Amino acid sequence: MSTLTQAVRTSSTGGTKRRRATRTRVETRRAMPAFYWMVWPAVIAFAAFHTLPVLIGIFFSFTNYAGYGAWNFVGLSNYANLFRDDRVLAAYGFSFLFAIVATILTNVISLAIALGLNSKIIGRNFFRGVYFVPYVLAILVIGYVFQFFFSNSLPKILSGIPLFRDNILTSPDWAWTAIVVLAVWQACAFAIIIYLSGLQTIPGELYEAASLDGAGAWRQFRSITFPLIGAFFTINVVLSLKGFLQVFDPIVSLTNGGPGTSTESVTLLIFRGGFSGGEFAYQTANAVIFFIVITVVSLFQFRVLQRREADF
């Protein structure tokens, strides 16, 4: 009797599982069309406004198209001419110099501020909000405010210092430093948030144990804090360098590439030549090269910084 009952129960359980599996497959089939209806519009929009323009741009980079009129294929001439163009090479040099300096300053300053905001201070949440404000402000609007400051206020305040006695934005040698100040001021806001997120993942017990062992503040930072926020440091460095290589708005608002072309970045050169200089195909080729450069630099950064994380 017990054997028969067990067999009936086993048969019933097996049938229930099969019915559940069948019902799950039916529900999945019904859900798939709805899933496609939700995803396909985004895929089509992305392809239409991103992928297709990129492919068209790559196509025209092999032509002599000026942005209007007829055009002919010129092969790799545009790409070859880029490496012989002094203005293009100068723009790349400026962009890399600017990006390296700004990336270092952004990460040093934002990490220092994040350490302060992560400590037990009065009004901590208020200051966290204040330091994030630059990120939500329009960079062009703030850029014009900084332009007035560098052009009018700073020469009056620091009139005793020869470097600041005149408008620094008119100096071919020092105008780029004003752009660095503006770009770093805004970029620090987002970097601080990332570093704060990393600092809050570190257990407080580690610092307590280190203090009991006699470790000072610098030793705790070097042995505990920095190794444990290595992933956040990697993200910040990669995003900062990539963003600064593409600098555009701070330059437009402060110097517009001047004096002369001393602060002309690659993105500004592509914009000027491609849209108003009759060099659409030539600057499109420049954009393709620039995209490859940024991709290679980002991948190299990831490889080096992740290896450093593993060493910790």
Helices 52-60, 280-311: axis angle to 10 degrees equals 120
- Mean predicted confidence (pLDDT) in 3-8: 46
pLDDT of res. 119? 84
Looking at residue 61, what is its pLDDT? 92
What is the DSSP code string of 235-289?
Answer: HHHHHHHHHHHT--HHHHHHTTT-STTTT--HHHHHHIIIIISS-HHHHHHHHHH
pLDDT band at 311 (very low <50, low <70, confident <90, very high): low
- Nearest by Cα to 221 from 210, 205, 209, 232: 210
**Percent of the chain residues topping a pLDDT of 90:** 49
Contact 143, 250 (CB under 8 A): yes
Mean pLDDT over 8-24 rounds to 53
228 neighbors 202 (Cβ within 8 angstroms):
yes
Who has greater pLDDT, 43 or 307?
A: 43
* Per-residue model confidence (pLDDT) at position 29: 61
Asked whether the CA dihedral 101, 105, 111, 112 is positive or negative, the reply is positive
Residue 103 reports pLDDT greater than 90: yes
> What pLDDT score does 256 carry?
92
In tens, the pLDDT along 285-298 reads 999 999 999 999 98
pLDDT at 4 over 80: no
Question: What residue segments make up the domains of the chain, in order of their start?
Answer: 1-60, 78-311
> Looking at residue 312, what DSSP letter applies?
-
pLDDT over 70 at 14, yes or no: no
Helices (H) and strands (E) in the chain, counts: 16, 0
Q: In this predicted model, which residue has the larger pLDDT, 28 or 257? A: 257
Residue with tokens 């599996």: 21
Query: What is the structure's pLDDT at 10?
Result: 46
Residues 6+ apart with CB under 8 A from 243: 187
Picking from 230, 233, 16, the residue whose alpha carbon sits closest to that of residue 104 is 233
pLDDT of residue 310: 60
User: May I ask the CATH class of domain 78-311?
Assistant: mainly alpha
Per-residue pLDDT tens digits for 72-89:
999 999 999 999 999 999
pLDDT > 70? residue 8: no
For residue range 124-182, what is the model confidence (pLDDT) as tens digits?
A: 788 888 888 888 888 888 999 999 999 888 888 888 887 777 888 998 999 999 999 99
Secondary structure, 3-state, 102-135: HHHHHHHHHHHHHHHHHCCCCCHHHHHHHHHHHH
Q: What is the pLDDT of residue 11?
A: 46
- How many whole angstroms separate alpha carbon 246 and alpha carbon 244? 5
Amino acid, res. 227: P
Report yes or no: 193 and 111 within 8 Å, Cβ to Cβ. Answer: no
CA distance 285 to 283: 5
For 173-222, what is each residue's pLDDT tens digit?
999 999 999 999 999 999 999 999 999 999 989 888 988 888 888 999 98
Residue 63: what are its φ and ψ, rounded to 5°? -125, 180
Q: What is the pLDDT of residue 277?
A: 85
Higher pLDDT, 122 or 19: 122
The string of DSSP codes covering 44-61 is HHHIIIIIHHHHHHHHHT
pTM score above 0.75: yes
Average pLDDT, the chain: 86
Band the pLDDT of 55: cuts 50, 70, 90. Answer: very high
**Cβ atoms 223, 210 nearer than 8 A:** yes
Residues 6+ apart with CB under 8 A from 262: 94, 172, 173, 175, 176
Taking the C-alpha atoms of residue 76 and residue 203, their distance in angstroms, rounded to an integer, is 56
Q: What pLDDT is recorded for position 278?
A: 86
